Amino acid sequence: MTNKNYLWSGDDNQSIDAELMDFMAGADIKLDKYLFVYDIRASQAHIGGLKTIGILSQQEYQKLYACMSELKELYQKGKFILDNSYEDGHSAIEFYLTEKLGDLGKKAHTGRSRNDQVLTCTRLFQKHKLQQIQELAKNLAGAVLDLAKQHKKTAMPGYTHLQRAMPNTVASWLAGFAESLIDDGYLLRSTINYIDCSPLGTAAGFGVPLDLPRAQVAKELGFERLQINPVYAQNSRGKFDLVVLQSLYQLMLNVRRFSWDLSLYMTAEFGFITLDKTHTTGSSIMPNKSNPDVVE
């Protein structure tokens, strides 16, 4: 990576040690591949705000917006590659704009730091993925309930300490997991609401001396509210991410418990459930084996 590909590089022609940079930020570009389209989306909203306050003319805005749209299309088609020639995705956007539009490309970053830039695209990514996962959890709960309806009168033992305890039904066992998935959906929805605030415009934690139309930009990006205090916006790093991870952990805890039950009930000792051969693996030395790797 050469000196020209760092946004913070000076004009003294001195480059940071490549191995040191790889140690500090070598994984950034790999992770930014997941965030890149959200970063472009946030950048397009940001330049809309710059146009509102007169930093950009209508013509400049249109050129920048079109160039960003072009970059997004090239990236989605695999014709623009994020690689280690860029420090991160944010740098890649700016270098692309300046390569295509010259000094105009640099104006896109006016009133913005990579600090609020990465917070914004990360939050957009998290919101979108949580919405998708919430829908998957809802669909899975519905499928489990449909199966439970078919087994209202199918008896099975209820176990405690892996010992038969009370009579139960397959429907009751399945419906319990369906209800847990429904609760997980509520938790995911609450998490989306919790993180649904825009940090864009807070810069590196101290704001900027521009009257940025933060509410307008937040609305365009689909955020419900603003993070008002710039210091808090940066302090929310990790804090919001942890809440996202905790909500996903709760969901996966239920999936794990269900998978454990399935794995147990498929054993010869229980024999309640069988999997189709298309969903099991075998053994290289024991041809009698049918392994439920998919649920394990």
| Per-residue model confidence as pLDDT tens digits over 81-138 | 998 888 889 999 999 999 999 999 999 999 999 999 999 999 999 999 999 999 999 9
Range of the domain at 101: 3-110
**Is residue 172 assigned to a domain?**
yes
Domain end: 79, 110, 141, which one? 110
| Number of structural domains in the chain | 2
pLDDT at 25: 61
206 shares a domain with 159: yes
| b/e map 9-20, b = 16+ CB within 10 Å | eeeeeeeeeeee
Helix (H, G, I), strand (E, B) or coil at 55: coil
Neighbour count for residue 237 (Cβ, 10 Å): 14
Neighbour count for residue 229 (Cβ, 10 Å): 13
Task: Tell me the pTM.
Answer: 0.90
Helix (H, G, I), strand (E, B) or coil at 9: coil
pLDDT at 277: 86
C-alpha 54/C-alpha 107 separation (Å) is 12
pLDDT at 3: 42
Q: Which residues are catalytic?
A: 161, 283
**Is residue 243 assigned to a domain?**
yes
Residue 181's domain is classified under what CATH number?
1.20.200.10
Q: Residue ranges of the chain with pLDDT lower than 50?
A: 1-4
254 shares a domain with 125: yes
